[in-house]
Chain A
Amino acid sequence: MSRHFVHDLEEAFHQLLELSGTVEQMIEQSIKALNSRDSQLAATVIASDEKIDRTEVQIEEECLKMLALHQPVATDLRRLTTMMKVNNDLEHIADLACGIAERADRLADYPAFCIPDLIERMAQQTVLQVRTGLNAFVHHDTSLAEQVIASDDDIDRMNGEVIQVLTGQMQTDANWIPPAIECFSAARSLEQIADHAVNVAEDVIYMVEGVIVRHRYGTRLSGHSDGTPPPGS
């Protein structure tokens, strides 16, 4: 491959990493805004989404240009397509973080409403998932990616528990229905963010091994011969 292509690819990769850093920060901030009911912080998160959108488009244009200009094959092609997909996932995650920030803004009107502790734990787990997924992407580490895919069930379970707690709150006092719905929505966003982290992890496996594991990860895990149990189980 030409030196130009390598240089362009590196450039786009670094841009993507910067984007991922910002997105990670956005998730963290939106969760902080939710817990502390900080409308100002929520507004900051929502404001940064515009920049994310711009960067996403920019990265995608770069990638398309590279595809057209250098027509990469094999590893380079996989890397480039994975970058495009991760780029897309990151943008979605940023949107979801904005969603959480909006919920935080609205929850600020209900200072007395008790946000379930579980949401905090779920948020921590979600941030960890996203971080691990991106680490897998950065270090080309499929074992980390598999870890992310395997622990997605935990998040789903936590989401179920959060919904149970919120339903309980709504049943005890009808006044809590609006804030509980906001909370519910935030938890759902977290769950979706975690799903995007799983997407990133699956893309990483594709990038490294050239195997598409989407929608059939269960068979892959059970088919593993090394016998190591998936972490988090």
Chain B
Amino acid sequence: MRTFFYATVGALAISIAIGWWGARLVMQRWEAQQRAILAQAAVQALLAASPAGDEGVAPTVYRDRIADAVLAYGVVADFPDARPATAGDEIQTEPAASGSRLFRLTLPLSAPIGTSLRLTRRASPWEDLLSWWLTWAWLNAIAGLTIALTAWRLRRRRWARAGALQQWVDQLNALSADAPPAGSTLPPEILFTTDPQLGELRDVLEHVSELLTRHLSALLLERSRSRLVLGNLHEGVLAIDGGENILLANESAARLLDQSVQQLESKPLVQAIRIPYLVSQIQQVLSDQQPIQAEFQHGTPSRKLQVSIHPLPLSGDRPGALVSMRDVSRIRHLEHVRRDFIANASHELKTPIAAIRAYAETLHMGAVEDKEATEQFLAHIIGQADRLNALVQGMLQLARAESGRSMSFQSIDVSKTLAACATAARALCESKGVAWQDNLAELQIQCVSAPEALQTIVNNLLSNAVRYTSAGGCVRLQVGTENGELHIVVADTGQGIPAEEIDRIFERFYRAARDRAENPSGTGLGLAIVKHLTQELGGRILATSRVGHGSSFTVVLPLAPVPSTELA
């Protein structure tokens, strides 16, 4: 603004100067004009005054004087012999009233008509001045305009510079937290400025910008690191402030609550988490400031989530809450299996012991006298003891299979190894009226495995197959190789296993509900042993079944064992 003011004042001054100079010029010209008019008048007066007939002395004098006047004031040269004017012949001027001027000429005369000729003229210069000004006003206007334009352009250049500065400041302002600024983005007007003030400002700003960039990138790095750690945390974490808004949520939390992080973060608690139980627990912690541990079910398929909610001292006036949660479905399932195992094991062991005790007591109370009854009871006792023995053997075998020791790998002929199993199973089938099929005779497979373990696996599978197949059915043992692996298939046309139980049949002591009622002789350990031995041999087992149509178990084993260290 100040520049503009100076420019205007300058323009005005120059305009005034031009005006003053012009007026002086005009005045000078006007004065000369007036003097000429006066001199002319003087000549006329002298001519008129000279006596017509007196051509002697007087005319010469007059002529001289006239010539002087003519010479001095530039009247047309009718008088070639005029002399320079002498002092005292000057035309005197003096200001007169109302802006006009008075011109006075006094010529001394030595003639008979008088001693001097005096002429006076009054004239005003204003008309001339006005006409001059009107003629030359546009020049003045152009000069003023030019000056003002120059000033404006100068100012605009300053503005442009300020604009560049502004632009840069805007850029600085626009530095978002997500994208660190890419180096200095100073516009060239500022970068190469010659203005010392601007240069200083530039240096300060550059310094600040550099500082900001450094701190911002440090902060961003920090943030991305903590995000990374929090995001990859297996536990779900939620931070909630005193106003029941979610401050922070990690990926695991979102996954456990079936939401996305965007749907959780910085949203009100009741809106984002619509699990009444969890919300009420969090609200309780917010109000009581006492940590809570809780467990609840959520989602389809249902998961068990364990949450621990702790008060979170935030900087504001009201403390928040920190929620950490994890999926404990698997742990709870394993606990369930373990409890089942203990319950089943004690039950299975208890039953034969109770029977033995009952028979023994009966004998003790006198039945020993009855020979027939004694025989019968003793047979029962032996039978139950055998069962107990089978159970304990089974559990030991299972324990051995699980510990993975006592496995001796050797090169074996599969058909020879399995021949004994097939013979025993065929005998069982014949006694039960079940058809038998096997393809051992046409086999020529060599593999490196533990023969005893392999026999146990096949024996267990075959005895199950025979046990659950009623007369008229069929049991099949089929061995072959596929993709460099040994496939042993044991299939039956028995009662089959319900779909919801097929995942559990390999658990220890697990027996399908119907099986327990119909086949009390089973121990419930056979398939668990099969599974563990198969795993020890580096293989896997697949079971498929349809209720009423039979079951099929496929044991897949490597033809050459993988070193056991790699199995772990």
Contacts and interface: CB of A to CB of B under 8 A. Distances in A.
B498 A138 contact: no
Contact of B272 (A29, A120, A138): A138
Nearest to A37: B500
Interface residues of A, number: 27
B276 A25 contact: yes
Interface of B: 258-259, 263, 267, 270-277, 279, 297-302, 498-500, 513-514, 547
9 contacts: A14-B270, A22-B276, A25-B275, A27-B300, A123-B300, A127-B300, A128-B258, A138-B267, A138-B271
Given A25-B276, A135-B263, A139-B263, A18 B270 contact: yes
A129 B263 CA distance: 16
A21 B270 CA distance: 9
A31 B300 contact: yes
Contacts of A138: 267, 271-272, 274
Contacts of A117: 499
A208 to B, nearest CB: 15
A131 interface: yes
Interface in A1-53: 14, 17-18, 20-22, 24-25, 27-29, 31-32
Contact of B547 (A21, A27, A114): A114
Nearest to A112: B498
A134 interface: yes
Contact of A124 (B276, B301, B513): B301
A21 B499 contact: no
Main secondary structure of the interface of A (DSSP, over half): helix
A120 B274 contact: no
Contacts of A120: 301
Contacts of A223: none
A32 B270 contact: no
Contacts of B514: 112
A131 B547 CA distance: 36
A227 interface: no
A124 B300 contact: yes
Contact of B498 (A27, A114, A123): A114
A24 B547 contact: no
A111 B272 CA distance: 38
B271 A131 contact: no
B271 A17 contact: yes
B300 A17 contact: no
Interface in A96-137: 111-112, 114, 117, 120, 123-124, 127-128, 131, 134-135
Nearest to B258: A131
A18 to B, nearest CB: 6
Contacts of B302: 28, 32
Contacts of B267: 138-139
